[in-house]
Chain A
Amino acid sequence: MKYIDEFRDGEVAQSIAQAIKAEADPGSTYHIMEFCGGHTHAISRYGLEDLLPANVRMIHGPGCPVCVLPVGRIDAAIWLAKQPGVTLVTYGDMLRVPGSKRLSLLKAKAEGADVRMVYSTLDAIKLAQANPDRQVVFFAIGFETTTPPTAVAIKQAQALDLKNFSVFCNHVLTPSAITQILDSPEVRELGTVKLDAFIGPAHVSTIIGSRPYEYFAEEYQRPVVIAGFEPLDVMQAVRMLVRQINDGRFEVENEFARAVTRDGNEKAKSLVADMFELRRAFEWRGLGLVPYSALRLKEPYAAWDAERRWDVPQDSPPDNKACECGAILRGVKKPTDCKLFGTVCTPENPMGSCMVSAEGACAAHWTYGRFRDLETSHA
């Protein structure tokens, strides 16, 4: 398939790996965080860590939208699904994330709540049109990539004068999360997490462009390379970052120029700016309350805001005590550091969010990375 196969060529990957090995200074270590779950998935799936020299290490970041949504918001979605006359619709991954007391939307559905999976926000609109006697609530989650599709649906609901459609908005912002990590005590004061550089998200950047990363590349003196989701994109980004670190540069470079420009997708950005405003703070799993890191609907769109229509609970119940998702999302721990990993917690029976989505660090490691643990334990 065009634009896919040529970016998965194993021989080319080997040659880029050779170049990285030749350029990485054997006396230094390079700690590179891939912010985005799409990259985490690619790194595990194609065994990229095995291609990299031992002193170039990848750290998984919090860029998995399903993973960072806190338990309280899952509980709130379940609460909404149980309200009389409500049909709650959302993307597939959200159905299996455990909330408090291990209740998920899927279990709520089994108990009789009307919960449905949609592929696209427009399917949610169609469902509302087809069921005028039901209140269709779209449980909207995700980074800058999924926000414009939510905005398009609300615009359509407005055009159709759909009164039985609303959005439970949980959209969050990438730059705030990266800033929060760089400001965390582990990185800033304790130095327990060494972070030399970032691989910037692929699809988020198609929307926001490369410009937003310029601030913290400069401010925190960390190089950023925006990369596509194919294995060669990731390898090339690592090589570009190794080179920047060697040169003492901290610039924003764009490896994914085939889809990302400096200014991003203006049409999508203006749609979002017109409809959403910043929340003062929003809770993230693993990162706590992050200031100005999430969006809510502006007043003119209040009619489509589920949080204004219903008195949605705003609780913050803690994560399962034994689950290390929070520390894994901050890059402080690895999936194998969690005692639940692979024992009680598997993709079939997830205890925490990092095991639910294919982009979660635990699910990616469970599916593709476990053989490496055997090698290291025998080493």
Chain B
Amino acid sequence: MCLALPALVTELLPDDSAKVNLGGVAKTVSLALVSDVKPGDYVIVHVGYALSVIDPEEAARTLELFREMGELAEDVPA
């Protein structure tokens, strides 16, 4: 039930919904719970609703942190 993935918004549809693409699978989801979504955004979809929009800058920051971890770990003798 909770295992949802970020999906790419490809097209805004009437009735507060949008077409999203997840690894080639197209789906219509509701945008009733989010604001200001546009094509090209990634949204977290849960039971047919977009819950939040992925912040690309925060995602890049998190990935950067992972990389720094790796570099730190290499300096530590295992």
Interface positions of A (Cβ within 8 A of B):
1-4, 6-7, 9, 11-12, 15-16, 18-19, 21-22, 36-38, 41, 65-66, 91, 93, 119-123, 142, 145-146, 148-149, 152, 202-203, 206-207, 229, 232-233, 236, 239, 255, 257-260, 265, 267-268, 271, 357-359
Chain B residues contacting A9 (CB-CB under 8 Å) are 66
Chain B residues contacting A232 (CB-CB under 8 Å) are 66
Instruction: For the complex, give the distance between the alpha carbons of A236 and B63 in Å.
Output: 10
Given contacts A259-B54, A265-B33, contact A12 B70 (CB under 8 A): yes
Instruction: For the complex, give the distance between the alpha carbons of A45 and B65 in Å.
Output: 23
CB atoms of B6 and A3 under 8 A apart: yes
CB atoms of A3 and B59 under 8 A apart: yes
B: number of interface residues (CB 8 Å): 41
CB atoms of A2 and B6 under 8 A apart: yes
B77 vs chain A, min Cβ distance (A):
9
Instruction: For the complex, give the distance between the alpha carbons of A7 and B44 in Å.
Output: 15
B63 vs chain A, min Cβ distance (A):
6
Chain A residues contacting B69 (CB-CB under 8 Å) are 12, 15-16, 19, 236, 239
Chain A residues contacting B51 (CB-CB under 8 Å) are 145, 148, 203, 206-207, 259, 265, 268
Chain A residues contacting B35 (CB-CB under 8 Å) are 267
Nearest to B52 among chain A residues (CB) is A206
Instruction: For the complex, give the distance between the alpha carbons of A229 and B49 in Å.
Output: 18
CB atoms of B34 and A257 under 8 A apart: no
Interface positions of B (Cβ within 8 A of A):
1-6, 8, 22-23, 30, 32-35, 42, 44, 46-49, 51-56, 58-59, 61-63, 65-67, 69-70, 72-74, 76, 78
Instruction: For the complex, give the distance between the alpha carbons of A130 and B23 in Å.
Output: 32
Chain A residues contacting B46 (CB-CB under 8 Å) are 145-146, 149, 203
Instruction: For the complex, give the distance between the alpha carbons of A358 and B53 in Å.
Output: 25
- Among B2, B32, B59, B66: residue with most chain A CB under 10 A: B2
Given contacts A146-B1, A236-B66, A258-B58, contact A119 B47 (CB under 8 A): yes
CB atoms of A358 and B66 under 8 A apart: no
Chain B residues contacting A203 (CB-CB under 8 Å) are 2, 4, 44, 46, 51
Instruction: For the complex, give the distance between the alpha carbons of A207 and B49 in Å.
Output: 12
CB atoms of B1 and A258 under 8 A apart: no
CB atoms of B42 and A3 under 8 A apart: yes
Given contacts A19-B76, A203-B4, A257-B61, 9 further A-B contacts (CB under 8 A): A3-B5, A12-B67, A16-B70, A66-B1, A93-B1, A149-B49, A236-B62, A236-B65, A265-B33
Chain B residues contacting A146 (CB-CB under 8 Å) are 1, 46-47
Instruction: For the complex, give the distance between the alpha carbons of A21 and B69 in Å.
Output: 12
Given contacts A1-B23, A259-B44, A265-B52, contact A149 B33 (CB under 8 A): yes
CB atoms of A149 and B47 under 8 A apart: yes
Instruction: For the complex, give the distance between the alpha carbons of A36 and B49 in Å.
Output: 20
Instruction: For the complex, give the distance between the alpha carbons of A207 and B52 in Å.
Output: 8
Q: Show 10 residue pairs from A and B whose CB-CB distance is below 8 angstroms, ordered by the A residue.
A: A3-B42, A4-B23, A6-B63, A15-B70, A16-B70, A19-B73, A149-B33, A202-B2, A206-B44, A267-B34
B34 vs chain A, min Cβ distance (A):
7
Instruction: For the complex, give the distance between the alpha carbons of A326 and B6 in Å.
Output: 32
Instruction: For the complex, give the distance between the alpha carbons of A52 and B42 in Å.
Output: 31
Chain A residues contacting B6 (CB-CB under 8 Å) are 2-4, 259
Nearest to B17 among chain A residues (CB) is A122
